[in-house]
Amino acid sequence: MKHIGLDSRLTRQMSVGMKRYAIELAQRLPRVAPEFAYVMFDRGSNFSFAEQVALPRAMRKARVDLAHFLSLYAPVLAPRPYVVTIHDLIHLRFPQFFKTKVGPYYRTAVRYMARRAARVITDDERTVHDLERFLKVDRSRVRVIPLGVEERFLGSVAPRERTRPYFLYVGNHRAHKDLTTLFEAWGGLPERHEFDLYLTGHNDLQISLFSLQRPSRRIVFLGDVDANDLPSLYAGAVALVHPSLREGFGLPMIEAMASRTAVVACEDAAPGVLEGAMLTFPARDAAAMRTRMEWLIEDEGLRTALVNEGRARAEGLTWDRCARATADVYREVLEELA
């Protein structure tokens, strides 16, 4: 039996989505792909001696046949053969939104690691082009495996109680999420539409939102939302609104669909597997986003059709499927090296 070394660390640099991916694969791979034995490596912060030296040493000592680094925060001199997952290259697409030291790390360490990998796994076809463009990775070694949705979003959930209907944004407030376009779109809705706008997280924005709010509708920052409350929060919304300029996959979109909620998203952020199951608009086009939001308010038939199609897509995008497809990549690499 071949041994797979899983870098299952959950580190401070990893996003919520990256952590969810690592958790789900570490839990599910032993069950859905028992033809391999798995060795978990869960210690070592990023950019530390433990990561760069101790982790590769431990993998060699354990004599794993193949290593899988579940994020791009990995040892530069990783023991080969290995697979690495790179969810997106947003930091290289929009360098103006991030610290200047991030770009050099991607262009040196991540590029070197990706080009040495037996396979690079990513979430969506768009990132394949970015891997070619920014890291010079041969696309023949890239495998696209869409992420999954947790079972709790597919269950029967009572919608969140509310005083007024609301649109919902779920995610962080970084610049590439383009919340300015969302505020402009929502603020431009006709007066007759009394719909609040809910956002997860605290109001850490450096802009004033006072002029957008009225007695008949308001912007609500929900603070840190417990993961168990998310299904009802999605289920109570008119729609999830997602203006982000780019996503690796965008878990909130599939979670909303699983919760029977319509989605309005920037076309450059919508994953290919969800094409046709949501309304999309061009990047930074607040007028187009507002129009789609109005469609969902005024056209119940359209909203129902999107909810039904989205739910059907979500039911097929399970984490078990993601784990099984990942194990198939392991088999492919090991057979190639045999």
Residues 325, 144: Cα–Cα separation, whole Å: 9
Q: How confident is the model at residue 214 (pLDDT cuts 50, 70, 90)?
A: confident
Are 9 and 132 in the same domain? yes
CATH number assigned to the domain comprising residue 292: 3.40.50.2000
pLDDT at position 15 is: 92
Are 180 and 306 in the same domain? yes
Are 17 and 50 in the same domain? yes
pLDDT at position 13 is: 92
Q: Are 263 and 242 in contact (CB under 8 A)?
A: yes
Are 143 and 21 in the same domain? yes
What pTM value is reported for the model? 0.95
Please name every residue paired with 68 in a beta bridge, in sequence order, or none if there are none: 6, 83
* CA torsion through residues 200, 203, 207, 211, sign: positive
Are 132 and 18 in the same domain? yes
Q: Please give the tally of structural domains in the chain.
A: 2
Task: Tell me which residue has tokens 């990513």.
Answer: 122
pLDDT tens digits, 271-283: 999 999 999 999 9
Are 77 and 186 in the same domain? no
pLDDT tens digits, 57-71: 999 999 999 999 999
Q: How confident is the model at residue 207 (pLDDT cuts 50, 70, 90)?
A: confident
- What average pLDDT is seen over the chain? 95
Please give the structure tokens belonging to residue 203: 């109001």
**Selection from 142, 130, 70, 134 nearest residue 108 by Cα:** 134
SS3 content of the chain, % helix, strand, coil (to 5): 45, 15, 40
Question: How many other CB atoms are found less than 10 A from the CB of residue 43?
Answer: 13
pLDDT at 332 over 90: yes
Are 266 and 298 in the same domain? yes
pLDDT at position 101 is: 86
Task: Tell me which residue has tokens 């109001």.
Answer: 203
What's the average model confidence in pLDDT over 306-329?
Answer: 98
Residues 184, 177: Cα–Cα separation, whole Å: 14
Please name every residue paired with 38 in a beta bridge, in sequence order, or none if there are none: 4
Q: How confident is the model at residue 81 (pLDDT cuts 50, 70, 90)?
A: very high
Domain that holds residue 206: 151-316
Are 214 and 329 in the same domain? no
Are 181 and 66 in the same domain? no
Are 119 and 202 in the same domain? no
Residues 21, 88: Cα–Cα separation, whole Å: 13
Tell the burial category of 151 from Cβ atoms under 10 Å away from its Cβ (0-12, 13-18, 19+).
exposed
Please give the structure tokens belonging to residue 141: 């070694």
Are 80 and 120 in the same domain? yes
Phi and psi angles of residue 213, each rounded to the nearest 5 degrees, phi first: -95, 150
Are 247 and 276 in the same domain? yes
Please give the structure tokens belonging to residue 107: 């262009």
Cα of first residue to Cα of last residue in the chain, in angstroms, is: 13
Please give the structure tokens belonging to residue 277: 């199951």
